Every structure is written in C-alpha cells, then in structure tokens.
A and B are shown apart, each in its own frame.
Chain A
Amino acid sequence: MLEAITDHYNYWLVIFLLMAGLFVTMTSGNLVKKIVGLNVFQTAVFLFYISVGKLEGGTAPILTGEPEQFSNPLPHVLILTAIVVGVATTALGLALVVRIRETYGSIEEARLQEADRQDELRAAAEQGR
C-alpha cells in the first residue's frame, strides 16, 4: 500500500490539477476564465508527460562526457513544442473572445445565449409578419 503511494503520488496530484482545470472549464460562465481553465488542464497534461519520463537518479538529458543515467528526452521534446503551440492557440482563443465581446458586448455565457435567443425570436417575428 505504502509502495503504491510512493510510486504514484506524483501522478495523483497531477490528476487533481487536471480535474481542477476541467472543473473551471465546465462551470465558469466567463469565457476568459474558461480559457484559463483549459490552460490549467493543458499544463497538468504537460506535467503528467514529464512525470512519466522521469528516471529515479537520472539527470537532465545533456551529455557531459561522463557516463550518466538520463531522464527520457522524448517527452521533453514533445512538451517543449506543445507549450509554444499552446500559447499560440490560447492567443487565438482570446482573440475570438475579444471579437465576441465586440459583437455581443459581453463575455458571459449566459448573456450570449440570451442575446442569441432574442435574435432568434426577432427573426421569427419578422418572418411571421
């Protein structure tokens, strides 16, 4: 039992972070906060990948000429590029939020849905006339 904890505690705490991010994304009505939730989720996934690549007693994968044990460099490469891609896609998401705000005047989900419903009602009324 104790071994199971020392072997996996890192994964469990990362899973907690994952779920915190997911919770923010699901429950927050504010679009900026939703994107922040996605960011937290994303960072937790990064931490998970790197945790899997960690080697007990290993060092950073940079050759120094001495025989050493290295942690797995492959997840490092994947996550390194994913971080920069992540910020670029976050910027795209935030740009969409800015445009939504300019069109609707709000970034609260409830208000956006309300505005859409009003539009539909108006369109229906105009068609009926």
Chain B
Amino acid sequence: MRHHLVLRVVSKLLIPFMLLFALYVQFHGDFGPGGGFQAGVIFAAAFILYALVFGIDHAREVLPERVLRYLVPAGLALYTLTGFAGIVLGGKYLDYDVLGSTPTAGQHLGILLVEFGVGVTVSAVMVTVFFAYAGRTRDVDEEDW
C-alpha cells in the first residue's frame, strides 16, 4: 500500500491518538467503560494499522519480535505475581485488600496491576498473531482482489 498517499498521511496522524486512547481506556477503566482487554486490542490495532500501511518490516523495526516474545508472557506473569503478592502480605491468592494501607487502596492498586497485565498480554498476543500471518508468503496476488 505504499502508493496510497492519503492513507499514509491520515494513518500517521491517527496512530498517536489511537495509542493515547488505548492508554486512556487502560487506566480509566475503573471509572468508565474500558479496561485491559479493550485497551490491549486498541493498542494492537494501532500497530496493525501501521504495519498495513507502512509495511511489515517497518512495524517489526518499531516493535521487534524479540521484545514481543517477552511481552506475551510478561502480562500473565504480572497477573500471577500480583496474586502471589497477596499471599506474601498475609492475605489470600488474588486478594488485593492487603496490598495497600487500606483495603480500598489495596483493591485500587491490585485492579490497576491486574488490568495492566491483561492489557500487555492481549496486545502482545494480537500483534504477534498478526505478524505471524503477515510474515507468510502470499499465494494470492494483489491484483486478484
């Protein structure tokens, strides 16, 4: 899609806002609609748009697969470790009450960490899956569409 000038300019303008919106959805999920699952998908969608318009190789430079491979398990690990932190501090597994000075503060911190873990894993998996598809050689020529 290198020759579509309008697409390139518009997506270059849009992508920063998409990433910002993803972060807003991620961290404002306690108050309005949103959370880790949605934010992860929006974050991944921004990268996928970049890869579609500017080519997969440029996208791989921005987010190398080496880094992605660590991000996929990192989110799940953050979730699991937040659960264990509850045990270490004297509560139950995934009990956030003990994480903060007051139970409510603990719940806030726990939810923030867990949602962030969800967001990291979801976005990394979505981008990984897209890269896996896009990295294959095509059987259908572009003119055939």
Quick one: closest B residue to A88, CB to CB?
B125
Contact with A along B29-66 (1 / 0, CB 8 A): 00111010100110000000000000000000000000
Contacts of B129 in A (CB 8 A): 88, 91, 95
In the bound complex, CA of A20 to CA of B122 (Å): 30
Q: Binding site of B, secondary structure by majority: helix, strand, loop or mixed?
A: helix
Quick one: closest A residue to B136, CB to CB?
A98
Contact with B along A59-94 (1 / 0, CB 8 A): 010100000000000000000110110011001001
Interface size on B, residues (CB 8 A): 15
Asked if B133 lies at the interface with its beta carbon under 8 angstroms from chain A, I say yes
In the bound complex, CA of A7 to CA of B126 (Å): 39
Name the distance in Å between B46's Cβ and chain A's nearest Cβ.
Answer: 16
Interface size on A, residues (CB 8 A): 13
Q: Is the CB of A62 within 8 A of B37?
A: no
Q: Is the CB of B133 within 8 A of A98?
A: yes
Q: Is the CB of B32 within 8 A of A84?
A: no
A-facing residues in B52-87 (Cβ within 8 Å): none
In the bound complex, CA of A87 to CA of B133 (Å): 14
Quick one: closest A residue to B129, CB to CB?
A91
A-facing residues in B98-139 (Cβ within 8 Å): 122, 125-126, 129, 132-133, 136, 139
In the bound complex, CA of A80 to CA of B134 (Å): 27
In the bound complex, CA of A94 to CA of B126 (Å): 14
In the bound complex, CA of A123 to CA of B126 (Å): 41
Q: Which of A80, A91, A94, A101 counts the most chain B CB atoms within 10 A?
A: A91
Contact with B along A19-60 (1 / 0, CB 8 A): 000000000000000000000000000000000000000001
**What are 17 of the A-B contact pairs (CB < 8 Å)?**
A60-B33, A62-B32, A62-B33, A80-B35, A80-B37, A81-B37, A83-B37, A84-B40, A84-B41, A87-B41, A87-B126, A88-B129, A94-B133, A95-B129, A95-B133, A98-B136, A101-B139
Q: With A84-B41, A84-B122 given, name 19 new contacts (CB 8 A).
A: A60-B33, A62-B31, A62-B32, A62-B33, A80-B35, A80-B37, A81-B37, A83-B37, A84-B37, A87-B41, A87-B126, A88-B125, A88-B129, A91-B129, A94-B133, A95-B129, A95-B132, A98-B133, A101-B139
5 pairs of A and B residues whose beta carbons are closest in the complex = A91-B129, A84-B37, A84-B122, A80-B37, A88-B125
